[in-house]
Amino acid sequence: MKTTPYSTTDAAELYGIPSWSGGWFRVNDKGHVDATPAPGLHATLRDVIDELVQERGESLPVILRFPQILAGRVRQLNEAFRKAIQEYGYTGNYQGVFPIKVNQRRMVVETIAQAGYDYAHGLEAGSKAELALCLAQDMHPNALLCCNGFKDDGFIKLALWGRTLGKNVVITIEKYSELDRILKQARALGVKPAIGVRFKLHARGSGMWEESGGDQAKFGLNAYELLRVVERLREEDMLDSLVMLHTHIGSQITDIRRVKVAVREATQVYAGLVADGVPLKYLNVGGGLGVDYDGSKTTFYVSTNYTMQEYASDIVYTVQETCKAREVAEPTIVSESGRALTAHHAVLIVPVVDVTGPTLDVQAIPPAQEGQHQVVTDMEEILGNISGRNYREMYNDAVGDKQTLHNLFDLGYVNLYDRARGEALFNAILRKVSRQLIGEKYVPDELEDLQKVLADKYICNFSLFQSLPDNWAIGALFPITPLSRLNEEPTRQGTLVDITCDSDGKIEKFIDLRDVKATLPLHALDGDPYYLGFFLMGAYQDVLGSAHNLFGKVSEAHVTARPGGKYHIDLFVRGQKARRMIESMGYEEAMLRESIQEQSAKARKGGTLDPLQEHELLEDYDEELLGYTYLEYENE
C-alpha cells in the first residue's frame, strides 16, 4: 500500500498525461496542467482561463488553440520523413498534404500552410468550397494541392484554373467517368491537367475505419479501370499528365503492420505502371497516421502501436525495398496526414457546474419512523453487519431487499418515506461494500460495476453533441483531466453529463492504459471553480459538431507561449449567439421580437404585466437572443 504523500507525478500517471500528450502537455509543480509547445516555453491553462473569465469577463466553455503545437506537429512529421530518407539513402523526396476536411478552421489551415512552406507541405480539398479555400492560401510553388472526392464540371474547372495561378494542383480520379470530364474541361480551358488516380488496394487498415479500405471502398478504381485510364491517356497523347498514384486504407490505423502491407501493395502497382511507361512522380500513401489517444501504444482502436518516426521509416523503407526489387525510380512519397497534425493543438475547457449522485453517507439517511416496514429494518441490519468475510452475501441480500421494497411500494404496502429511507440505506450499503473491495485481487462478477453505480455525476457546461461528436457517435475516447488540484489526491469517482436535454449527453467511458475505465477520478467540489480539460480535440470535432438543443460553436482563444512561463492570447473569438443558432433553423430575428412584443402588449392590457415588467421582459428577451448559448455564471 502506498504510504508516501500524493504527488504531481502520481497525478500525471493517473491521468496518463506523459503517455498521450506526446510531450505537448505536462503537470507542473503546483499541480496545474501546462501546455509545452516548444523547449523552454510553457503556458499554464488555468492561468489562461482565469484571465478570460476573471479579467475579461468571458464565459465558458472555450477551446484553447495553440498554433505553436500545430506548427510543431508539421515540423515533426516532415523531419521524421527527412530523417528516414537520409538514413536509408532514399533517392526520392517526401511531401506532406493536409486534408482540410479534418479541420477547416482558418487558424488551422493558415498555420499549417505557413509552418509547412519550407517543406512544400500541401493541402487536400474534397469539395468545391474546400478547393476555393485552399486556392487562396499562400503555399510553396511545389506544394501539392490534391483534389479528392467526387467532382462535377465546376470542381474540375476550378482546379484547372488553379494550375494557371501557379499552384501544383493534382486532380484525383475517384471513378473512371471523371476522366472524360477532366479531359473535356482541360481542352476547353487550354490547360494541361495534372492527374492522379486512386487505386483500390485489397489491403485494409485496422481499427474503427478498417471498412473504408479494401475492395469495397467507397472511392477508387480497380485494376482493370486503372489500366483503362492509362490506355485512354496514351490514346490522347496525354500520358505525361498522369503524375500520381493515390491509395488509402483508412483513418487512425492502429497497427503498423497494416501500413507496411498496404504500402508494399501500392508500390507494386506504382512499379508496374512505371515499367509500362507511365511517368509517375508521386506515390500517395493516403492518410491513416494515428494518434495515441489513450497512451497505451497498442492496437486498441484509440491507440497506435507505433510512433510517428516508425511510421515514416517503415514507409520509406518499404517503398525503397520494392522499387529496388522492381528496378524502378523511387518516387516522391506523399501522405495525407490530418488527425496526427491537428489533434494535439486544441483543448476544450469546461466548468463543472454541479455534482449529483446517490446518497452515499450514512448521516444522510432519514431517521427511522414508528411503524417502519420490516424490509427497511432488514436493510438497516445489513448495513451494520457488513464485514470483510460476508460483504458479498450482504450485497446480494441488499439487492433482493431493494427489489422487494420497490415491489411493495408499487402495491401500496410501503409508504414514500420508507422508500426514501430504504434507498438511502441501500446506497450506504454499496459504499460500505465498495470499501471492502479495496486491495482485493479478485472482484466478484456482480460487484464489477459497483464503482460505476456509486459514481457521482459531474454536470459540465458544454454539449457533447457539439463539442465531442465522435464520442457520442462512434465511441471515440479523449483524455480528460482536471486543470488544477493535481497535487491533491482525487477522492471521488465520477461520470460526466452535459447540459443538453438528452439522456445520451453523458460520458461513461474513459481512457486507461490497460482498459477502458467506467469512471474518472475527480476532486470533491470545494466552492472554487473546477475546470476539466478535454484534450486531443483538434481533429474532426470542430467540423462535425451538431446544433442539438441549439447549442452553438463554443468560444475559442488562440494562445502563444512566451519565455518565462508567460503567454499571450493572440485572438479571442466568441462563440455563436442564440439568435444565430435560431436563424440557422429558418427563423427571423425580427419576427421573433415582433411576436414577443405583441404577446407582452396583450398581457399588459390583460393585467398580467405592468409597463415596467413589460419593458424588463423585452430587455431580457433581447439580451438572451444576443447571449452565449451555454450557461453563463457571474463567477465560473
The answer to whether 388 is annotated as binding is no
Query: Which residues does 232 contact at the CB level (< 8 Å), separation at least 6?
Result: 179
Nearest Cα neighbor of 480 from 352, 355, 354 is 352
What pLDDT does 80 receive? 98
The number of folded domains in the chain is 3
| Distance (Å, whole) CA 348 – CA 507 | 15
The answer to whether 40 is annotated as binding is no
What pLDDT does 549 receive? 92
| Distance (Å, whole) CA 102 – CA 130 | 11
Active-site residue, selected from the candidate residues 134, 147, 460, 501: 501
The answer to whether 285 is annotated as binding is yes
- Same structural domain, 182 and 111: yes
Residue 361 has pLDDT above 70, yes or no: no
Residues 245-287: tens digit of each pLDDT: 999 988 999 999 999 999 999 999 999 999 999 999 999 999 9
Kind plus residue range of the DSSP H or E element containing 105: none
HSE of 184 in the Cβ direction (CA atoms, 13 Å)? Answer: 10
> Is residue 429 in a domain?
yes
| Distance (Å, whole) CA 244 – CA 9 | 49
What pLDDT does 434 receive? 85
465 within 8 A of 545, measured Cβ to Cβ: yes
- Residue 460 designated active-site: no
Residues 559-585: tens digit of each pLDDT: 999 999 999 999 999 999 999 999 989
- Same structural domain, 582 and 443: no
What pLDDT does 360 receive? 43
> Is residue 138 in a domain?
yes
Nearest Cα neighbor of 456 from 401, 512, 530, 402 is 530
Residues spanned by the domain of 589? 578-626
> Is residue 131 in a domain?
yes
- Same structural domain, 404 and 284: no
Q: Is the peptide bond before 61 cis (omega within 30 degrees of 0)?
A: yes
> Is residue 589 in a domain?
yes
> Is residue 316 in a domain?
no
- Same structural domain, 391 and 278: no
Percentage of residues in the chain with pLDDT exceeding 90? 86
Kind plus residue range of the DSSP H or E element containing 85: helix 67-88
The mean pLDDT of the chain is 93
Q: Give the confidence band of 359 by pLDDT, cuts at 50, 70, 90.
A: very low
Residues 84-128: tens digit of each pLDDT: 999 999 999 999 999 999 999 999 999 999 999 999 999 999 999
- Bridging pattern class, strands 492-497 and 456-460: parallel
User: Cell 502537455, residue?
Assistant: 25
| Distance (Å, whole) CA 341 – CA 71 | 8
What pLDDT does 409 receive? 96
| Distance (Å, whole) CA 176 – CA 227 | 10
Q: Give the confidence band of 635 by pLDDT, cuts at 50, 70, 90.
A: low
536 within 8 A of 344, measured Cβ to Cβ: yes
The answer to whether 290 is annotated as binding is yes
- Same structural domain, 339 and 378: no
The answer to whether 291 is annotated as binding is yes
What pLDDT does 442 receive? 78
Q: Where are the beta strands (DSSP E) in 361-508?
A: 456-460, 480-482, 492-497, 506-507
Q: Give the confidence band of 217 by pLDDT, cuts at 50, 70, 90.
A: low
CB neighbours of residue 517 within 10 Å: 17
